[in-house]
Amino acid sequence: MTRKFVALICISLTMLMLVGCDLPTTKKSNPLFSNHDFRTFDWDEYDYVIRKEEGALLTYDGENRIMYWSTFLGYNANITYCFYENQLNKGYISIDSDDDKENIYKAISSEFTKLYGDPIEKLLIQ
């Protein structure tokens, strides 16, 4: 009886350990950034790698943030990388254009719809 009990416990523990194992998740398709999370980098990338590999013009390098001047969907843009413990955790793209903001919104919205499909909700912040 004791052997069966020990075997049952071992099998149960093995099953619990296997439940915790999972196949690695595949990266979601991101055509805008060539299957990267933000531009050509992924979240948790170290800041020194971005400083070394980002090809745009550096405009600001401060504590937990670096900014570059580049383009995004044909518009001049400020690209901001934010870091937590020296790893990328946020990214911002600020469009800099004299064009009408509604036209910019329509152009970018149209491009996003082509890449990702119809949005669930649209908000225009003024």
pLDDT of residue 84: 95
The rounded radius of gyration (Å) of the Cα atoms in the chain is 23
pTM of the full structure: 0.67
Helix and strand numbers, DSSP H then E, in the chain: 3, 4
- Any idea how long the chain is? 126
In a domain, 23, yes or no: no
pLDDT digits (tens, 9 = 90+) for 42-99: 999 999 999 999 999 999 999 899 999 999 988 999 999 999 999 999 999 999 999 9
- For residue 26, the SS3 value is coil
The first and second tokens of residue 94, run together, are 């600020």
In a domain, 40, yes or no: yes
Q: Are strands 87-95 and 75-84 parallel, antiparallel or unpaired?
A: antiparallel
Residue 1 in this model has a pLDDT that exceeds 70: no
Answer whether 35's CB lies under 8 Å from 54's CB.
no
In a domain, 67, yes or no: yes
Task: For residue 86, give its domain range.
Answer: 28-114
